[in-house]
Chains A and B, each alone.
Chain A
């Protein structure tokens, strides 16, 4: 592919400056700081992006994950607990935990329990699980962006 072809540098010449495509958009943080940013993004949706000043993404993550959790609870979806006896329950618990602090908000809000006998409740369960997985994806994105890998 022509775009990736490079010519050998002249012997003795100083190394060329990195091209714009190689330059990270955000300054690289240490591994520990990047990890902390990822964890913060998991604990509170959008916080990871807010810490690296990606405001649009921070607001979008917070609102979308919050809306999915709110709708999931409102549709009386199943908020899984750690007491699940089968693999599906444990998988659901892992997905729900992905929402971080919103998991506890969901448990507090769903006072009447779940109702998966109806279609709304089944959809609500999917909304809650999708919120968790989406937040994990966003936290991973914030971690990678903090490392300067992508923006």
Chain B
């Protein structure tokens, strides 16, 4: 039986990895030309991170 490596990632690393993978998939599915895909992936990744960090800060006052 193959056992994969166990990953220890921080919240931020997990979020960045998730955002990057989903952005790549969305970029390839929704755009046809390479330049458009790259632009879409960068823009989508930026928005993922901006909104993720923004929501994190918005929840901060209620965390204690």
Contact = CB atoms under 8 A, between A and B. Distances in A.
Contacts of A111: 1, 3
B47 interface: no
Main secondary structure of the interface of A (DSSP, over half): helix
Contact of A61 (B6, B11, B17, B25): B25
Interface string B1-26: 11111111101001001100110110
A75 B7 contact: yes
B46 interface: no
A65 to B, nearest CB: 8
Contact of B18 (A56, A61, A126): A126
Nearest to B11: A119
Contacts of A126: 18
A71 B17 contact: yes
Interface stretch (A15-23, A93-101, A130-138): A130-138
Interface in A97-124: 108-109, 111-112, 119-120, 123
Scoring B14, B22, B25 by chain A CB atoms within 10 A of each residue's CB, the highest score goes to: B25
Contacts of B5: 74
B1 A130 contact: no
A122 to B, nearest CB: 9
A57 B28 contact: yes
18 contacts: A60-B29, A61-B25, A61-B28, A64-B21, A70-B4, A73-B4, A74-B7, A76-B6, A108-B2, A109-B3, A109-B4, A120-B9, A120-B14, A123-B14, A126-B18, A130-B18, A138-B25, A138-B29
Given A68-B21, A73-B4, 9 more contacts: A57-B28, A60-B28, A74-B4, A75-B6, A112-B3, A120-B9, A123-B18, A134-B22, A134-B25
